[in-house]
């Protein structure tokens, strides 16, 4: 058979310049197939055989370009190059036997990011009556062994959850299809040696990972499931996690969960020492224990125990009175404290944490909202959360945070006040802060006042977040865009030595008062600053 296909359409794409030369008989093709279309450029040489009861494939292909976006096969802009060598019997996932090797693989993302993998080999075979599927490459090794139907694994796991944790399955709507269960029993392991820059394909802020290990098993015959994850490093944008572990062991109606992060870094100035979360689920009850440590000070930053009860509609959360630690200090809470979380409502009772004169109060706000109060705190709390050696804050702090709808994240309002605001021991008078937003993705409006009528500094304006809500009806002002500041800073008789806190070390003994009228506009990392200042 010799054929020349000048043009044909599939998914709104016009394929051109296809050539076929080989033998075609009884659903079996052996020969050469070539495409010189610029977006699907490849050579195929081998056999595709559907003439038997079990299909058989044996071919080699050289892919010069396979552009999935321009072929209208996917939304993301990805194109592939590489050499394929495939020998495979059957197309049913649970019956496959053979291997495929892809060498000199190149993935081109958005026509500019080039990702390369030397060799990937995938194998499927039967060993001691078990089905084995494995992947080998310099990027990742993976192996799955046992009895399983790929298309049924998810459904089998839902059956396992429904049998052993019916209340949670019902609460989260995790209902399996009504098909025969208990057909899978397998072990699995994954080792991510080096992801290189391939994770950029998933998200541009996701950084390379190395030496990630995952092992586990699933056996519904004895009602067991497990997962053990070791993640040495994880980075997403400015968030960095080190030495992450996740261990889940499920046996019949009981499951134990252990999650730990040795170090958390968010941006340059916020870091968190080891955090450990232990959980024990038995039927409809989850017991949790959370500990955050400060290794340098040998103290607990946070420690609490809680119980979570559930039924088909609600979650009920109750904290253990005797085991609540915050900033290495013991806090008291009422015995009858409870949070009731329903599908469209939220209620609290007795959620008042007390330490000496300090209080943290959580109250219901209507049917779906919350009010959170911090009373009689000290601004020194900022120093424990934000690492910046040049500044030391002090002053009595009261803060109120409200949200009208916790489910839709709408109606946000934060107000904070400090009667006597001190930086490095210097008294700057009163501080008042107000932040409001329609919802988490809408424009944030903020006002900061420091001082009094005779001496003050005021910052007033707005910030548009990167993911501005599409439901916000007001059109942005000219030149405004997402991730944008628009603030006005004014001051009167304000001491100039405040600059010493922020400017480079070595500047001291600054004297004078400043009256300023300054505009700050643009992205936070590169704002335009204009205006006047009189010293």
pLDDT tens column, 378-397: 888 777 666 667 778 889 99
DSSP per residue, 9-48: EETTEEEEEEEEEEEEETTEEEEEEEEEETTEEEEEEEEE
Confidence label for 271 from pLDDT (cuts 50, 70 and 90): confident
Q: How far apart are CA 402 and CA 398, in angstroms?
A: 14
Cα–Cα distance, 364 to 499 (Å, whole number): 42
User: For residues 480 and 515, which has the higher predicted lDDT (pLDDT)?
Assistant: 515
Mean per-residue pLDDT of the chain: 87
CA–CA separation, 305 vs 288, rounded Å? Answer: 6
Tokens matching residue 161: 């959850």
In the predicted model, what is the mean pLDDT of residues 66-76? 94
159: tokens are: 């059956």
User: What is the rounded distance in angstroms from the CA atom of residue 63 to the CA atom of residue 79?
Assistant: 10
- pTM to 2 decimals? 0.74
What is the mean pLDDT of the segment spanning 425-454?
91
Beta strand segments in 70-195, E: 78-89, 97-109, 113-127, 130-137, 140-147, 185-194
pLDDT bin (cut points 50, 70, 90) of residue 266 is confident
List the one residue out of 261, 250, 189, 263 whose CA is nearest residue 220: 250
Window from 189-193, 294-298, 423-427, 518-522 with minimum mean pLDDT: 294-298
Closest CA to 427 of 452, 460, 445, 405: 452
List the Cα angle 406/410/415 in 5-degree steps: 90
Q: Across residues 453-482, what is the average pLDDT?
A: 69
> How many CB atoms are closer than 10 A to CB 482?
12
* Band of residue 286 on the pLDDT scale cut at 50, 70, 90: very high
CA distances from residue 349 to 72, 337, 339, 353, 458 in whole angstroms, order as listed: 55, 5, 7, 12, 38
Q: 486-514 pLDDT, tens per residue?
A: 999 998 888 777 766 655 555 566 677 88
pLDDT band at 526 (very low <50, low <70, confident <90, very high): confident
Residue 531 above 50 pLDDT? Answer: yes
The answer to whether the beta carbons of residues 525 and 502 sit under 8 Å apart is no
Rounded to whole angstroms, the Cα distance separating 231 from 227 reads: 13
Structure confidence by residue, pLDDT tens digits, 83-98? 999 999 988 877 889 9
Residue 470 has pLDDT above 50, yes or no: no
């Amino acid at each position: 058979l010799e054929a020349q296909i000048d043009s044909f359409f599939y998914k709104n794409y016009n394929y051109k310049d296809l050539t076929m030369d080989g033998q075609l008989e009884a659903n079996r093709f052996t020969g050469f197939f070539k495409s010189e279309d610029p977006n699907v450029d490849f050579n195929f040489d081998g056999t595709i055989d559907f003439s038997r009861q079990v299909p058989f494939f044996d071919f080699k292909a050289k892919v010069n370009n396979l552009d999935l976006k321009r072929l209208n096969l996917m939304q993301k802009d990805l194109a592939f190059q590489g050499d394929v060598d495939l020998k495979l019997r059957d197309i049913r996932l649970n019956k496959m036997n053979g291997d495929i090797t892809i060498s000199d693989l190149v993935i081109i993302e958005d026509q500019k990011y080039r990702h390369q993998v030397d060799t990937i080999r995938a194998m499927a075979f039967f060993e001691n009556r078990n089905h084995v599927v494995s992947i080998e490459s310099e990027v990742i090794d993976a192996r799955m062994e046992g009895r399983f139907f790929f298309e049924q694994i998810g459904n089998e796991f839902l059956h396992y959850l429904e049998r052993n944790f019916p209340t949670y399955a019902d609460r989260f709507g995790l209902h399996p299809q009504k098909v025969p269960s208990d057909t899978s029993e397998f072990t699995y392991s994954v080792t991510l040696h080096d992801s290189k820059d391939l994770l950029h394909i998933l998200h541009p802020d996701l950084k390379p990972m190395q030496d990630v290990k995952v092992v586990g098993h699933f056996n519904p015959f004895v009602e067991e499931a497990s997962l053990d994850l070791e993640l040495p490093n994880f980075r997403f944008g400015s968030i960095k996690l080190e030495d992450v572990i996740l261990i889940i062991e499920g046996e019949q109606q009981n499951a134990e969960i252990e999650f730990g992060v040795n170090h958390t870094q968010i941006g340059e100035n916020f870091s968190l020492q080891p955090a450990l979360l232990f959980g024990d689920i038995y039927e409809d009850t989850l017991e949790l224990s959370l500990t955050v440590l400060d290794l340098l000070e040998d103290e607990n930053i946070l420690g609490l125990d809680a119980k979570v009860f559930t039924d088909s509609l609600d979650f009920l959360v109750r904290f253990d009175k005797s085991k609540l630690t915050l900033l290495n200090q013991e806090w008291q809470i009422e015995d009858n404290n409870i949070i009731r979380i329903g599908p469209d409502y939220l209620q609290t009772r007795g959620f008042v944490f007390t330490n000496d004169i300090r209080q943290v109060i959580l109250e219901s706000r209507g049917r779906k909202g919350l009010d959170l109060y911090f009373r009689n705190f000290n601004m020194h709390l900022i120093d424990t959360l934000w690492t910046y050696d040049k500044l030391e804050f002090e002053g009595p702090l009261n803060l109120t945070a409200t949200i009208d709808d916790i489910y839709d994240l709408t109606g946000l309002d934060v107000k904070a006040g400090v009667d006597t605001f001190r930086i490095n021991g210097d008294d700057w008078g009163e501080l008042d802060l107000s932040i409001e937003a329609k919802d988490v993705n809408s424009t944030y409006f903020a006002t900061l006042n420091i001082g009094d009528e005779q001496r003050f500094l005021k910052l007033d304006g707005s910030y548009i977040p990167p993911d501005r809500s599409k439901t916000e009806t007001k059109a942005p002002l000219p030149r405004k865009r997402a991730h944008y500041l628009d603030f006005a800073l004014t001051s009167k008789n304000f001491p100039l030595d405040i600059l010493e806190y922020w400017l480079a070390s070595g500047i001291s003994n600054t004297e004078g008062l400043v009256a300023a009228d300054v505009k700050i506009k643009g992205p936070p990392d590169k704002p335009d600053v204009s205006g006047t200042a009189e010293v």
